[in-house]
Amino acid sequence: MPDRPKQPQTSHVVSGIAPILGFAFLTAALDVYGGSTVQDVSPQVLAAVSFSMTAAFFLTLQAVRVGLPAALRPLRTHPYDVAAINVTTAVTWLSMLFALKYLEPAVVSVVVVALGPILTILMGPVLRRGSKALRAEVAASLGVCVVLAVLVWESFTGRSAVGSLEPGHAVAGFLLTLACGIGSTANIIYMKRLSEAGQTPQAVLAIRFFLMIAITWVLTALSERPGVGAALWPSLIVAVIGVGLPIYVLQIGIKHTEPITTSLLISVSPLITLLLQLLDGRLTTSAVSWVCTVALIVLMSVGVVKRAQEDRRQEPSAPLPDGASLNPPEDTKTL
């Protein structure tokens, strides 16, 4: 993997909380809406139309602002990161859309966010050198693996909201969800890399969907009955609440947080998913999903709080007045 100079960048949990929580809410809304929509609209058609709309919007916006050559410049200046974010975007979204055909939306959401922290700990030092997780974050990540195991058992034994699953569907659903978790984790890391390279959220959204669009339109062309016309309105909704707006606010949040903290903050999305999916007549409330989600959020919250404390501890002090001592009086020092 090619190295590149790393620019200093402020990382502060508090500044990133609001946009990442906004992303979590919109993602939860997409999980429920997408879980219902893909029952009637082909996932590849839904993705092809919605991502084309989103890419056209942001590329046009960026081209108007800085010109088309400048909008496409990251393809030349950061080809590795741009290629990686295109690949991970395609893996994440395609696997998620197909997983929703087999599994309860809340289960898909919980499994993906549960995998996020532990995968970030494993992948972070490789994909983004210098990143390091706190002990509390590692402990929280191990704890969510236990929750994940319970959710796997729940779906395989027919206790989730979608009821009993065929073994083949359950296996397919979880393999797709695993792929989604891996893709999502890598995606967050590459979003952070591009942010550290000075790319704005709008600039990143203008160049990150090319591969996704190509793959989904090829799949659509190979479909016997693509139904593009019927997918227009659902795709517009997905483009707004599921692609453009959430990824934009997530990119803003990532600018201020470490990838492991981003993964922990996103943990609220399963709880929101559980609340929103009550509006879906296909689904009933799964008690195990509720318990697992609450446990997951408690574990994630511990990691987020510890990261916030670590951020405050490492914040540089304000400039001292001329003549002031760098060391406090002996009786005011803390251990």
CB contact set of 116 (below 8 Å; sequence gap of 6+): 181, 184, 185, 188, 263, 264, 266
Total-model pTM: 0.75
| Mean pLDDT estimate for the chain | 77
**Distances from the Cα of 209 to the Cα of 167, 264, 332, angstroms:** 33, 25, 54
Residue 326 lies inside a defined structural domain of this protein: no
pLDDT at 69: 92
Statement: residue 7 has pLDDT above 50? no
Residue 333 lies inside a defined structural domain of this protein: no
Quote the tokens at residue 63.
Answer: 């081209």
The band of 35, judged by pLDDT with boundaries at 50, 70 and 90, is low
In angstroms, the CA 226 to CA 224 distance is: 6
Residue 329 lies inside a defined structural domain of this protein: no
Statement: residue 322 has pLDDT above 70? no
Q: Which of 20-24, 90-94, 99-103, 227-231 has the highest mean pLDDT?
A: 90-94
**Distances from the Cα of 70 to the Cα of 81, 187, 212, angstroms:** 17, 23, 22
The band of 170, judged by pLDDT with boundaries at 50, 70 and 90, is confident
pLDDT at 33: 66
When mean pLDDT is compared across 106-120, 155-169, 178-192, the lowest value belongs to 155-169
Residue 62 lies inside a defined structural domain of this protein: yes
* 183-188 average pLDDT score: 90
The band of 130, judged by pLDDT with boundaries at 50, 70 and 90, is low
Residue 129 lies inside a defined structural domain of this protein: yes
Residue-number span of the structural domain to which 91 is assigned: 13-313
Residue 319 lies inside a defined structural domain of this protein: no
Residue 331 lies inside a defined structural domain of this protein: no
pLDDT at 99: 83
Give me the number of domains the chain comprises. Answer: 1
In angstroms, the CA 158 to CA 164 distance is: 4
* 221-246 average pLDDT score: 80
Residue 4 lies inside a defined structural domain of this protein: no
Statement: residue 8 has pLDDT above 50? no
pLDDT at 208: 93
The more confidently predicted of residues 303 and 57 is 57
